[in-house]
């Protein structure tokens, strides 16, 4: 049932991302053509630079389409955590493309500034092209950002901000062209450099965030605090430690050690762990999987309890210590409680072994004294059960 839900959610996210990216690609193609044509005929270097940026957007859109398709695939035997990191790799590619584009634009604009005789003032038509570009880019930015947030896709959100950067770039171009028409032709290549700076900033931020994700950086402090609060609110939780979080594309993965009472049953501890998992996935949209390790104590100090033997050795020593004692042959069950560097023991005998209170107390005391001689045993309780 869970696998079917994951496949349905992945397909829905892919279809939404595919639709918005194809629309963005169509708009970018249109803008690249009119910007380049306008830049050539209106003699605007800033507009041509903006056209190059729109052309690079087409490659970015194709990469986003690939990332959305591959990242939406359900987990399999080779990728048990899903394929979300493919989206992260695409985001790294987008960041690198933006940085390379910014460097190329800046280099060409700087060459023009060093040779001011080659600067040709742009024609008024460049203004109209810049206005059209601003309107279209702002619309596609808002649309892509909304879909990215609805589908929890950082890749789509990054592409949305890429679109917003283009909108700002076109605004810078508008200022540069207007300044050139007012008798300051050097403003056009200066505007082109301004565009490249904006592009580089977004590229660097996208690259940095994506690389951090690939190196398993934790979620933000706010999200980690929300996770802690949710876990602590679950009934039966006495504490938590070793909380670790990381991202895998649009999803977040959580590992945590939770401390519960050492005297509850294994099944109750498992139910608490499952409830924590269900709550985190329900309360935090980005959390897709949670691994809960149940502890009876804070085991952050890994040296504690490492030398304690397992049941087979402990039980053999207990039975050896009780060998030949009156009543020991009726022993029904031995329960062990591991606490830090010591072991608590419970002995269960039938009620028939204690026909009266005095006999029961004497038998319990003899058994208790014998078992306390076993190494690591610090406490012994004897119960007569029906």
CATH at 270 = 3.30.70.1350
Is residue 100 assigned to a domain?
yes
26 & 100 share domain: yes
- CB environment 135-173: b (16+ within 10 A), e (fewer): ebbbebbebbbebbeebbbbbbbbbbbbbbbbbbbbbbb
Gyration radius from the chain CA atoms: 34
Is residue 303 assigned to a domain?
no
357 & 251 share domain: no
Mean pLDDT, the chain, rounded, equals 80
Q: Flag whether pLDDT at 105 surpasses 90.
A: no
245, 267, 295 — which closes off a domain? 295
CA distance 82 to 94: 21
Each residue's pLDDT tens digit, 132-176: 888 888 888 888 888 887 777 767 777 777 777 677 667 766 776
38 & 183 share domain: yes
Is residue 179 assigned to a domain?
yes
Is residue 110 assigned to a domain?
yes
106 & 80 share domain: yes
Given a contact cutoff of 8 angstroms between Cβ atoms, the answer to whether 177 and 89 are in contact is no
The CATH number of the domain holding residue 142 is: 1.20.1510.10
Q: Flag whether pLDDT at 26 surpasses 80.
A: yes
Is residue 302 assigned to a domain?
no
More confident residue, 317 or 199: 317
**Mean pLDDT, rounded, for 185-189:** 68
Domain tally for the chain?
3
81 & 201 share domain: yes
162 & 252 share domain: no
Q: Flag whether pLDDT at 377 surpasses 80.
A: yes
pTM of the predicted structure, to 2 decimals: 0.61
Residue among 206, 221, 229, 225 at smallest CA distance from 90: 206
79 & 190 share domain: yes
77 & 180 share domain: yes
pLDDT band for 23, please (50, 70, 90 cuts): confident
Say what percent of the chain tops pLDDT 70: 79
Each residue's pLDDT tens digit, 39-84: 777 666 666 766 776 776 777 777 777 766 666 666 677 766 666 6
More confident residue, 175 or 208: 208
DSSP conformational letter for 323: T
Is residue 106 assigned to a domain?
yes
Kindly report the three-state secondary structure assignment for every residue of 28-48.
HHHHHHHHHHHHHHCCCHHHH
pLDDT band for 1, please (50, 70, 90 cuts): very low
133 & 263 share domain: no
248 & 188 share domain: no
Is residue 248 assigned to a domain?
yes
24 & 153 share domain: yes
Given a contact cutoff of 8 angstroms between Cβ atoms, the answer to whether 279 and 234 are in contact is yes
Residue 167 structural domain: 2-214
CA distance 93 to 206: 9
């Amino acid at each position: 049932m869970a696998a079917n839900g994951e496949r349905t959610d992945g397909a829905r996210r892919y279809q939404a991302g595919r639709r918005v990216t194809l629309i963005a690609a169509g708009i970018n193609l249109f803008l690249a053509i009119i910007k380049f044509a306008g830049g050539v005929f209106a003699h605007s270097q800033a507009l041509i630079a903006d056209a190059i940026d729109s052309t690079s957007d087409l490659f970015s859109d194709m990469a986003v389409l690939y990332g959305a398709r591959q990242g939406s695939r359900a987990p399999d035997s080779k990728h048990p955590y899903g394929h979300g990191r493919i989206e992260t790799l695409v985001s790294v590619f987008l960041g690198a493309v933006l940085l390379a584009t910014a460097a190329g634009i800046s280099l060409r604009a700087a060459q023009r500034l060093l040779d001011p005789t080659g600067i040709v003032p742009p024609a008024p038509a460049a203004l109209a092209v810049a206005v059209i570009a601003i309107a279209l880019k702002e619309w596609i930015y808002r649309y892509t950002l909304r879909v990215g947030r609805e589908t929890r896709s950082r890749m789509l959100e990054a592409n949305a901000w890429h679109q917003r950067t283009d909108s700002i770039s076109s605004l810078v171009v508008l200022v540069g062209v207007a300044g050139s028409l007012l008798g300051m032709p050097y403003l056009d290549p200066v505007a082109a450099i301004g565009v490249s700076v904006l592009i580089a900033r977004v590229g660097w931020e996208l690259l940095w965030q994506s690389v951090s994700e690939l190196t398993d950086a934790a979620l933000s402090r706010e999200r980690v605090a929300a996770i802690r609060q949710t876990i602590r609110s679950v009934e039966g939780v006495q504490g938590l430690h070793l909380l670790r979080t990381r991202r895998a594309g649009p999803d977040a993965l959580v590992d945590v050690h939770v401390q519960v009472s050492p005297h509850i049953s294994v099944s109750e501890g498992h139910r608490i762990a499952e409830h924590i998992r269900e709550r985190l996935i329900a309360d935090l949209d980005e959390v897709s999987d949670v691994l809960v390790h149940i502890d009876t104590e804070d085991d952050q100090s890994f040296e504690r309890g490492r030398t304690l033997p397992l049941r087979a050795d402990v039980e053999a020593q207990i039975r050896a210590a009780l060998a030949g004692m009156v009543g020991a042959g009726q022993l029904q069950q031995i329960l062990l409680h591991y606490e830090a560097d010591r072991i608590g023991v419970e002995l269960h005998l039938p009620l028939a072994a204690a026909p009266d209170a005095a006999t029961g107390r004497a038998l319990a005391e003899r058994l208790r004294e014998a078992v306390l001689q076993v190494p690591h045993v610090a406490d012994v309780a004897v119960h007569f059960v029906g």
